[in-house]
Amino acid sequence: MSSNVVPLETFLDLPDHARLLGLDLGTKTIGLALSDVERQIATPLETIRRVKFGLDAAALIKIAQNHAVAGLIIGLPLNMDGSEGPRVQSTRAFVRNLAPLTPLPVAYWDERMSTMAVTRTLLFADASRAKRAEVVDKMAAAYILQGALDRLMRMEPGDPEHDDAAPDGADAAR
């Protein structure tokens, strides 16, 4: 297990005014979202077209450096019943391979229904199929990151309740 995969509450100790980067890992793309410096609002940033791991990781690390990112929130695609399937294994493998390349702490966040919620919002906004395809990944990343940011805002260091940051411990390395 990588030493930079940490429980979400570890992010409470990050330096002030350091941003977080949210990731929605897909098979063809990686959606990215960036927090503000106060770590209260997640904003869709961009979508990386996946090529191969080395190039994907280099692009991700460069974006993190350019935006002074202090930590990564990675969506963990649990099954609806909370079990782990092939997509979770793929996500964990990506993080295992990324960890040696960056000192940034990584926390998982349960992403169940994030793409569905974003797609529903885009449908409600009457976005065209092409527009939805263009923005859904980075918006899903923002949805994931916002969930983690909201939870962090409710946490206090030393608070015994911070173990329930996400259902089924998806925010911690298990």
The answer to whether residue 157 is domain-embedded is yes
pLDDT at res. 162: 44
22/171 Cα distance (integer angstroms): 12
The answer to whether residue 3 is domain-embedded is no
Report the DSSP pairing between strands 69-76 and 106-110. Answer: parallel
What's the pTM value of the predicted model, to 2 decimals?
A: 0.82
pLDDT at res. 78: 84
The answer to whether residue 2 is domain-embedded is no
The answer to whether residue 33 is domain-embedded is yes
Query: What is the span of the domain harbouring residue 53?
Result: 8-169
The DSSP line for 51-89 is --HHHHHHHHHHHHHHTTEEEEEEEE---TTS---HHHH
* Per-residue pLDDT reduced to its tens digit, 62-110: 999 999 999 999 999 888 888 888 899 999 999 999 999 999 999 999 8
* Per-residue pLDDT reduced to its tens digit, 4-22: 999 999 999 999 999 999 9
CATH of the domain at 108: 3.30.420.140
Give the range among 2-11, 44-53, 78-87, 115-124 with minimum mean pLDDT: 115-124
Our count of domains for the chain comes to 1
Cα end-to-end span (Å), the chain: 9
The answer to whether residue 147 is domain-embedded is yes
Give the range among 33-37, 41-45, 93-97, 151-155 with minimum mean pLDDT: 151-155
160 pLDDT higher than 60: no
Only one residue has tokens 């939805």, namely 132
The answer to whether residue 54 is domain-embedded is yes
The answer to whether residue 109 is domain-embedded is yes
